[in-house]
Amino acid sequence: MLSSKYNKSIAQVVLRWLIQKEVVVIPKSAHMKRINENFNVFDFELSADDLTAIKSLAKGSGLIYSV
């Protein structure tokens, strides 16, 4: 699991993935712990293999579209 590999939460891995795809991310939380987690995504980078693995996951309907 990527979250274990990078010692980050799943949400942090997803935020980092979006940032590396150059998607503007505006995370929201009312919990201070999660707000801090949202900021702690700039101290690691997902490898090319991990980006490919995420891309190959099953796709449902979502809010991100290729442009």
- Residue 55: the pLDDT is 86
Q: What is the pLDDT of residue 62?
A: 65
What does the pLDDT read at residue 1? 86
Structure tokens at 64: 């991100």
pLDDT in tens, 11-28: 999 999 999 999 999 999
Tell me the percentage of the chain whose pLDDT exceeds 70.
Answer: 87
Q: Is 37 helix (H, G, I), strand (E, B) or coil?
A: helix
Regions of the chain where pLDDT drops below 50: 67
For the record, the structure tokens of 56 come out as: 């190959």
